[in-house]
Structure 1
């Protein structure tokens, strides 16, 4: 039977709303609702009129109260700052707050700790600190956005994940929105920390940016096959093994931090290395675009 030859009756909608409809009939009705606006409206009215309607109303009121409270607080912060153009800050803060759970969770604090820890190591640990702070930061920086993205998407990170993923902005679009939010927080902080570190030489403080972008896109591409957390784990583990294993197992003379700096220079410094990372980012982006439908049901 095609979708156009039948429509849900009021009785059928009421049985679906109160949960007494047989599972096979419920599946058939849900499939029909994907193509029939009038039946979807009828079922929506039935759900609101039933016992679930009161619960949904309470949830809606609670969400609206919380949103209004956050908006009022951010507007008050903007008005108290006295800085011209400060009114734009609440809008940006609201966008970041809504875009990714990791941005408003412990991950942002972890990024700040990594950045401040690198600067403290560079200035407070003597000559060894000066020599070792930048390699350690460059070794960790590319995987920080990867971890942030993994903590921003999925039922483990977002209590309303199912609702958000089922919305018109769900799927790959939502995942990319939260990825941008993570990058907007991590890239400036970690790059500024690298610029503040004493000393100079290759690789530079911004040498990790393209690798970080490529690894982030690679984790998103892998997420389409194994899920966001597993994709992030594989990407982070591969990167850390690639840069740490040669530094720790090399038979050559020199401290591990010096060998780590040499390994990072080999994989980050120069047009050839950066070009390879740029090409990798493009390939991963193409893989995302080619399999974008998969992300509508990303585990």
Structure 2
């Protein structure tokens, strides 16, 4: 729902003030207050009338003492008092810090007031997959392919890498967004940066990790008869966008399973079931048919554009993506 279609009731304002409102609803309300003066006034009155009023008063006095130094603190509506030495500023209580961060809509950083450091925000936006074991798995796949090609002398190392490479970013996206992957998913989805914007941000982070590593590994591998090392880039992008488009209907994990599983079945099944040729040669032939040439690459590019258009048309669905 948008801020123009609803307003905060007295009950909602009271629940926000006493801290019983769920975090996702509180973030949504705070975003609404940026555009609605009447609701902001209602919530302000509720906060000042509740138990948080005294706490926020402590925070305000501490800020004023810090800003004014030794000058007296004059409260609006009171009579001026002679100047006197103001006690040394005291740090707000833990409860005051909590309410200050809640009302301002920011996270408090212990020992460092203000917003979350830029590096922490970047790591959070990148998603659990890039921060976790997925990045290590991508590195293992790339190094493993090189080890197979040179250490074990496997002739089909590059075709095998090209068969697996388009699925790697699909799995990374599936592990980057949703309650199964992110412990603060509900808060993130309700924030102004949530929904499709956050999903695309994490998709870009996954692509930035997987594309250079896997392409470099393909360049290092010998591959006579196999497609070029960069031939998988457009198919990988198209499959990633297809999994995102399907996620709007069936969820991120199911969408990744359908696209990634479909690709692997299409390229690996013929190679494994062909009795007339070695699996590696048959795999290279199969990949050449679906990756090589302007016709194949043009088809993948058109597929990527269509999936991107489907994402844009259904962007509102991703605010409630399961």
Shift of 1:284: 0.4
Shift of 1:43: 3.3
Equivalent of residue 205 in structure 2, options 181, 203, 210: 181
Shift of 1:250: 2.3
Q: Deviations over 1:140-193 (max 9, x none)?
A: 000000000010101111111111111111111111010000000000000000
Q: Deviations over 1:181-213 (max 9, x none)?
A: 000000000000001112444301111000000
Shift of 1:23: 16
With 38-47 and 54-63 compared, the bigger mean Cα shift is at: 54-63
Relative distance call for 1:96 and 1:271 in structure 2 (3 A) is farther
1:75–1:90: 8 Å Cα contact kept in structure 2? no
2:170–2:260: 8 Å Cα contact kept in structure 1? yes
Shift of 1:130: 4.0
1:78–1:90: 8 Å Cα contact kept in structure 2? no
Relative distance call for 1:47 and 1:185 in structure 2 (3 A) is farther
2:27–2:191: 8 Å Cα contact kept in structure 1? no
Q: Find the aligned partners of 1:8 and 1:78 in 2 and give their Cα distance.
A: 17
1:143 paired to 2:170:
no
Q: Find the aligned partners of 1:79 and 1:259 in 2 and give their Cα distance.
A: 57
Q: Find the aligned partners of 1:256 and 1:142 in 2 and give their Cα distance.
A: 19
Give the structure 1 partner of residue 101 of structure 2.
75
2:56–2:100: 8 Å Cα contact kept in structure 1? no
Q: Find the aligned partners of 2:248 and 2:47 in 1 and give their Cα distance.
A: 34
Shift of 1:57: 15
Larger helix proportion of the pair: 1
Relative distance call for 1:40 and 1:241 in structure 2 (3 A) is farther
Relative distance call for 1:102 and 1:56 in structure 2 (3 A) is farther
Relative distance call for 1:114 and 1:229 in structure 2 (3 A) is same
Specify every segment of 5 or more residues in structure 1 that has no aligned partner in the other structure, as ranges.
Answer: none
Relative distance call for 1:56 and 1:124 in structure 2 (3 A) is farther
Relative distance call for 1:130 and 1:161 in structure 2 (3 A) is same
Q: Find the aligned partners of 2:182 and 2:120 in 1 and give their Cα distance.
A: 18
Partner SS for 1:145 = helix
Q: Deviations over 1:34-86 (max 9, x none)?
A: 9744324643775698689999999999999999xxx9999999999999999
1:74–1:90: 8 Å Cα contact kept in structure 2? no
1:96–1:181: 8 Å Cα contact kept in structure 2? no
Specify every segment of 5 or more residues in structure 2 that has no aligned partner in the other structure, as ranges.
Answer: 68-96
TM-score (norm 1): 0.74
Partner SS for 1:168 = coil
Partner SS for 1:130 = coil
Partner SS for 1:123 = helix
The number of equivalent residue pairs is 292
1:247–1:257: 8 Å Cα contact kept in structure 2? yes
Q: Deviations over 1:98-130 (max 9, x none)?
A: 3221101010000000000000000011xxx34
Q: Find the aligned partners of 2:238 and 2:298 in 1 and give their Cα distance.
A: 11
Q: Deviations over 1:197-246 (max 9, x none)?
A: 12444301111000000000000000000011110011111001100111
2:174–2:253: 8 Å Cα contact kept in structure 1? yes
Shift of 1:266: 0.8
Q: Find the aligned partners of 2:22 and 2:35 in 1 and give their Cα distance.
A: 21
2:170–2:240: 8 Å Cα contact kept in structure 1? yes
1:171–1:298: 8 Å Cα contact kept in structure 2? yes
Relative distance call for 1:49 and 1:212 in structure 2 (3 A) is farther
2:148–2:154: 8 Å Cα contact kept in structure 1? yes
